[in-house]
């Protein structure tokens, strides 16, 4: 797959995933808004029902009282009532309040000439309403008023017509505004009406209520009511048409948000779970794609390096064989022996490379049998130095040892751990452009022994330090193969150190060299 196509596919997949997440978020947000609107509608409907029912119940109570007076009469008066009076006596202030609501019915019979509609005559009825309230401070003033205004002296009561019922309702609104609100309505009634209406709409949620007058609290309220503007609903109640008392029925729901969200919490949780699974799966797939692409590039580089490293010894062997075939050379035993040694060395070199590859493969499959014995790390270091000292001397370099650890007994496999030290020393030699200068240190730290191998070579970048122990990894140098290797040596080193319950790290700086640090547990 080409790099451009790979990038386009990743972008399209990422955009699709982001789109899915945004669509899910939009629908969840929209669902919450819909639930909130439905909740608000149900609450306002319950408030309207409660306020209307309370007002109707109050009027019905007064009408029942009036009707009971009518029922006490032996004979009904046939004269229609044109005025309704409400008499209130306040014992505390010695005031008498008389409220009147009057109904005037006027019937007109108009000749057909007024309206050309094909009828002989038209009956027109007009109903007029007039209300007034008077307050008398003492009984004498009231008696004088009654004597001077005979309309107040009506003694007979008749049944109410529909028009008169309207007049009574209007009258009670005005008269009721002078009665304290806690005497007009009971908390239990409000609670019962609200609760029943809310349950009809499946709003089973704890609430608190109150009645406020001109934005001031009254005695009518539940115990835990607190005015919260964001969660409080209100509606007018006992509207008298005057500014004397501007009553409002208020209700709030302390757990309103939780209730609204609970209705879609399952859908939201499922959406989050499935979206998270998609994100995790997508991230894993994307990570695997990048890893596979990187591995493909590393393997290609590995094959190129292996090919390059095998070409040189093969070419050397072929040249040596061709030289031996020469009749002049074959008679010169010294030259033949030298060529045979070259063939042997190059063959050994190729065999070592193949062994490294096979060793790593066995480690990956846990097929490499590593038996451990009690050994002294200092002995392994001395043994490893003998493998590389000739190469160092040939390049005019040196290896200095600073074996300061008093205790060096560890549980290790002699062969494999010697190879670990040899590989690190070999790296130090290969990555030293000039004569290799290497220092080897040991020291005891607690129950561990620390081995440091420090060189003064070309060093490595920060990025390379993070990946130096990866299989097949070599720091990118373009197509220049001035340092031979295939990126398996340090991967093998880390696997062996880990298998010995140790830890390996590297400290390095470009052009200033590298220091490999191995920590192993001591044994008594």
| Domain at 402, CATH number | 3.30.565.10
**pLDDT > 70? residue 82:** no
pTM (whole model) above 0.85: no
Residue 398 has pLDDT above 90, yes or no: yes
Does some domain include residue 121? no
Check residue 517 and give its pLDDT: 95
Alpha carbon of 355 to those of 60, 95, 364: distances in Å? 106, 118, 14
Cα–Cα dist 482/431, whole Å: 10
Is 324 contained in some domain?
no
Q: What percent of the chain has pLDDT over 90?
A: 13
pLDDT value, residue 481: 42
Q: Is residue 422 part of a domain?
A: yes
Alpha-carbon distance 299 to 301, whole Å? 5
Contact 435, 397 (CB under 8 A): yes
Does residue 431 fall inside a structural domain? Answer: yes
Residue range 158-173: mean pLDDT, rounded: 66
Contacts of 417 (CB under 8 A, 6+ apart): 375, 380, 496, 500
Q: Which residues contact 16 (CB under 8 A, 6 or more apart)?
A: none
Report which secondary-structure segment, H or E, holds 255.
Answer: none
Q: How far is CA 163 from CA 82, 169, 454, in A?
A: 10, 10, 111
- Is the pLDDT at 158 greater than 80? The verdict is no
Domain membership flag for residue 512: yes
27 in any annotated domain: no
143 vs 141: CA distance, rounded Å: 6
The range of the structural domain enclosing residue 490 comes to 372-524
**Per this entry, what is the length of the chain?**
524
- Name the band, by pLDDT with cuts 50, 70 and 90, for residue 268: confident
277 or 60, higher pLDDT: 277
SS3 455: strand
Question: Looking at 192-201, 348-357, 374-383, 433-442, which range is the least confident one?
Answer: 348-357
Mean pLDDT of all residues belonging to the chain:
76
Could you read off the pLDDT of 43-56 as tens digits, one per residue? 888 888 888 888 88
Q: If DSSP codes are grouped into helix, strand and coil, which group holds residue 211?
A: strand
Could you tell me if residue 296 is inside a domain? Answer: no
Per-residue pLDDT band for 249 (boundaries 50, 70, 90) equals confident
Residue 99 lies in a domain: no
How far apart CA 495 and CA 364 sit, in angstroms, is: 9
- pLDDT for res 140: 57
In this prediction, residue 520 carries a pLDDT of 95
Looking at the 3D structure of the chain, how many domains does it have? 1
Give tens-digit pLDDT for 420-458. 898 899 889 888 888 999 999 999 999 999 999 999 998
């Amino acid at each position: 797959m080409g790099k451009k196509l790979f990038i386009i596919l990743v972008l399209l997949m990422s955009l699709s995933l982001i789109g899915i997440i945004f669509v899910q978020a939009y629908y969840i947000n929209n669902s919450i808004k819909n639930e909130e609107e439905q909740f608000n509608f149900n609450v306002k409907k319950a408030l309207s029902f409660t306020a209307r029912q309370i007002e109707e119940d109050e009027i019905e109570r007064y009408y029942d009282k009036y009707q009971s007076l009518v029922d006490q009469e032996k004979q009904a008066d046939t004269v229609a009532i044109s005025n309704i009076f409400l008499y209130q006596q306040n014992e505390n202030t010695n005031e008498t309040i008389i409220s009147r609501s009057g109904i005037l019915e006027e019937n007109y019979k108009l000749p057909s000439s007024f309206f050309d509609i094909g009828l002989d005559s038209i009956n027109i009825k007009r109903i007029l309403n007039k209300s007034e309230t008077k307050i008398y401070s003492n009984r004498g003033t009231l008696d004088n008023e009654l004597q001077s205004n005979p309309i107040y002296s009506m003694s007979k009561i008749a049944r109410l017509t529909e028009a008169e019922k309207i007049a009574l309702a209007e009258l009670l609104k005005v008269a009721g505004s002078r009665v304290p609100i806690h005497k007009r309505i009971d908390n239990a009634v409000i609670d019962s009406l609200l609760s029943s209406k809310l349950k009809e709409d499946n709003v089973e949620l704890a609430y608190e209520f109150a009645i406020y007058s001109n934005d001031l609290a009254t005695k009518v309220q539940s115990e835990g009511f607190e005015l919260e503007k964001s969660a409080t609903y209100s509606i007018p109640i006992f509207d008298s048409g005057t500014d004397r008392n501007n009553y409002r029925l208020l209700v709030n729901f302390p757990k309103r948000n939780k209730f609204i969200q609970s209705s879609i919490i399952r859908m939201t949780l499922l959406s989050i779970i499935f979206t998270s699974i998609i994100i995790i799966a997508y991230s894993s797939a994307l990570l695997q794609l990048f890893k596979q692409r990187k591995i493909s590039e590393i393997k290609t580089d590995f094959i190129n390096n292996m090919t390059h490293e095998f070409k040189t010894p093969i070419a050397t062997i072929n040249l040596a064989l061709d030289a031996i075939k020469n009749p002049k050379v074959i008679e010169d035993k010294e030259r033949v022996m030298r060529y045979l040694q070259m063939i042997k060395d190059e063959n050994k070199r190729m065999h070592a490379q193949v062994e490294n590859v096979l060793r790593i493969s066995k480690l990956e499959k846990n097929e490499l049998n590593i038996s451990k014995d009690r050994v002294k790390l200092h002995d392994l270091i001395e043994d490893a130095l003998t493998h590389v000292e000739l190469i160092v001397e040939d390049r005019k370099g040196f290896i200095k040892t600073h074996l300061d650890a008093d205790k060096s007994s560890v549980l290790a496999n002699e062969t494999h751990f010697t190879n670990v030290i040899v590989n690190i020393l070999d790296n130090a030699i290969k990555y030293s452009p000039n004569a290799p200068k290497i220092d080897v240190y040991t020291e005891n730290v607690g129950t561990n022994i620390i081995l440091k191998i420090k060189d003064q070579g070309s060093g490595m970048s920060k990025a390379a330090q993070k990946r130096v122990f990866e299989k097949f990894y070599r720091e990118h140098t373009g197509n220049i193969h001035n340092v031979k290797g295939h990126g398996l040596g340090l991967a093998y080193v880390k696997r062996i150190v880990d298998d010995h319950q140790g830890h390996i790290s590297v400290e390095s700086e470009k052009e200033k060299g590298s220091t490999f640090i191995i920590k192993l547990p001591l044994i008594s």
